[in-house]
Structure 1
Amino acid sequence: MKVLLVDDHPLILSALQGVIRGLGDDVTVVGVASAAGLRQQLVTDAEFDLVLLDLQLGDANGFDVLSELRSAHPALPVVVVSASDRASDVIQAIDLGAMGFVPKRASNDMLFEALRLVMSGGIFVPPMSLGMDAGASAPTPPQDAHAEADTVPDVMRIGETAEAAPFQRHAPSFASLGLTPRQADVLAQLLQGKPNKLIAREMNLSVETVKDHVAAVLRALNVSSRTQAVLAVSQMTQGQLPSFQAWKPNRRG
């Protein structure tokens, strides 16, 4: 596995390199200290399996860099490693296509779990960042079944407490969701951040049919947006291998 680290703090960059090398003898780690260094490295050598990205870079906004990476290298998984563990930052990172979010204060074990989960096709979100504000209610399915809600609604105003949201405290197993094979395929595409039009093209379906499948997936997960679906699935996959990809029901015929 070849990992690219992006962090402008020399000590943290060195420490992370040492930790990640501990994943195995076959792990190669390259470190750069800026967004410019990241761009140059990917021009020189784009054969990386994973990027670990700090949000606080001296020469660029980390969220802008994340968006740039997802656009220029859509198949390259990105895990945010940040001094922040604010829920708003976690949600924004996932919304922009990050496959994981690990606070720098997390243990080595949590970092290892996150990297293994992401490399197996899952999404990692730190449980301590997913609490809800006091008095907030559980998310409800969208009223418009064809709505493509990509933002977090008011009901998901997430605070800084460690209490898990209702759909995370009582997260169902994948098998209990009752998704059809086609819906499971659509969910897998959603987790990659693909819009409905691209999903429709790749699955040879109409956009309206994809919207119906998306609405069914959101109802099954008891969430009201794509971002919430990602968060819910991340909680269901943590500590579970094989990942969601291995769970997907077999196609018929």
Structure 2
Amino acid sequence: MNATYSILIADDHPLFRTALLQSIQMAFNHTQLLEADSLDTLLRLLNQDEEIDLLLLDLKMPGTNGMSGLIQLRSEYPDLPIVVISASEEIAIVSQVKHYGAFGFIPKSSDMKTLIAALKQVLEGSPYFPESALIDTPSFDDVAERIASLTPQQYKVLSMLSDGLLNKQIAYELHVSEATIKAHLTAIFRKLDVKNRTQAVILLQEHHS
């Protein structure tokens, strides 16, 4: 492929980032590669560079909690193709990734040939997901549907709640008032059909376990 691409690799494991970077360099002659080891670094790079053609995102790195990083990025950068590269290869995880708007999913266990073929397919404009994920599987269970109904901001609040933050701390981190956080929590409890923050956190943690 002769086209020039700008690809951003977001993963907090240096060895995997380096291996992925080298693989891409071998397969694509004219490619600008950027690296991020946390969500903060990733967001900073995205704000600096408007020409990113593809984001390769690990679900588990500093600043993210389960699907929260993907949801935030999908919300803030709706036109950016995001492909999740993850060691969590369960069909349920792949289904969630698709549900939250990723353009593809590549298991970290993929061999070089599969990885390069997947990247070429994505860069040519076609989504890539493992064949196992393309088989008709049962739709989201009730809990997953309820969690999926949360807005990106509500999911962010719930994730921070799960991290043990108080309303005041969440309000500070998100630059909003405590009243706004309380309003979010009321909406979250209603959507999840729970009565308090403890039940909401347990629901989220069981869903991502």
Tell me if both proteins adopt one fold, taking TM over 0.5 as the criterion: yes
Asked if the contact 1:87/1:130 (under 8 Å) is kept, the reply is no
* SS of alignment partner, residue 116 of structure 2: helix
Deviation at 1:23, TM superposition (A): 2.2
* SS of alignment partner, residue 97 of structure 1: coil
The equivalences for 1:171-210 within 5 A come to none
The residue that corresponds to 2:51 in the other structure is 47
Which whole-Å CA distance do the structure 1 matches of 2:108 and 2:12 have between them? 14
The residue that corresponds to 2:76 in the other structure is 72
Q: Deviations over 1:134-185 (max 9, x none)?
A: xxxxx8xxxxxxxxxxxx256xxxxxxxxxxxxxxxxxxxxxxxxxxxxxxx
Asked if the contact 1:79/1:98 (under 8 Å) is kept, the reply is yes
Residues 1:30 and 1:153: Cα distance change in structure 2 (over 3 Å): closer
The equivalences for 1:80-159 within 5 A come to 80-129=84-133, 152=139
Structure (1/2) with the larger helix percentage: 2
Which whole-Å CA distance do the structure 2 matches of 1:39 and 1:19 have between them? 24
Deviation at 1:119, TM superposition (A): 1.6
Which whole-Å CA distance do the structure 2 matches of 1:49 and 1:41 have between them? 13
Asked if the contact 2:63/2:69 (under 8 Å) is kept, the reply is no
Q: Identity, % of aligned pairs?
A: 37
Deviation at 1:128, TM superposition (A): 3.7
The residue that corresponds to 2:162 in the other structure is none
Deviation at 1:68, TM superposition (A): 1.4
The residue that corresponds to 2:60 in the other structure is 56
The number of aligned residues is 137
Structure 1 residue ranges, 4+ long, deviating more than 6 angstroms after superposition: none
* SS of alignment partner, residue 22 of structure 1: helix
The residue that corresponds to 1:8 in the other structure is 12
The residue that corresponds to 1:194 in the other structure is none
Give the TM-score normalised by structure 2: 0.61
Which whole-Å CA distance do the structure 1 matches of 2:73 and 2:140 have between them? 26
Which whole-Å CA distance do the structure 2 matches of 1:47 and 1:31 have between them? 14
Residues 1:95 and 1:108: Cα distance change in structure 2 (over 3 Å): same
Asked if the contact 2:60/2:66 (under 8 Å) is kept, the reply is yes
Asked if the contact 2:11/2:37 (under 8 Å) is kept, the reply is yes
The residue that corresponds to 1:19 in the other structure is 23
Higher relative contact order (Cα pairs below 8 Å, separated by 6+ residues): 1
Q: Deviations over 1:73-92 (max 9, x none)?
A: 11110000001110011000
* SS of alignment partner, residue 67 of structure 1: helix
Deviation at 1:44, TM superposition (A): 1.6
Amino acid of the structure 2 residue aligned with 1:7: D
Give the TM-score normalised by structure 1: 0.51
Amino acid of the structure 1 residue aligned with 2:127: I
Asked if the contact 1:82/1:104 (under 8 Å) is kept, the reply is yes
Residues 1:18 and 1:96: Cα distance change in structure 2 (over 3 Å): same
The alignment yields a C-alpha RMSD, in angstroms, of 1.9
Where in structure 2 are there 5+ consecutive unaligned residues? 142-209
Where in structure 1 are there 5+ consecutive unaligned residues? 134-138, 140-151, 155-253
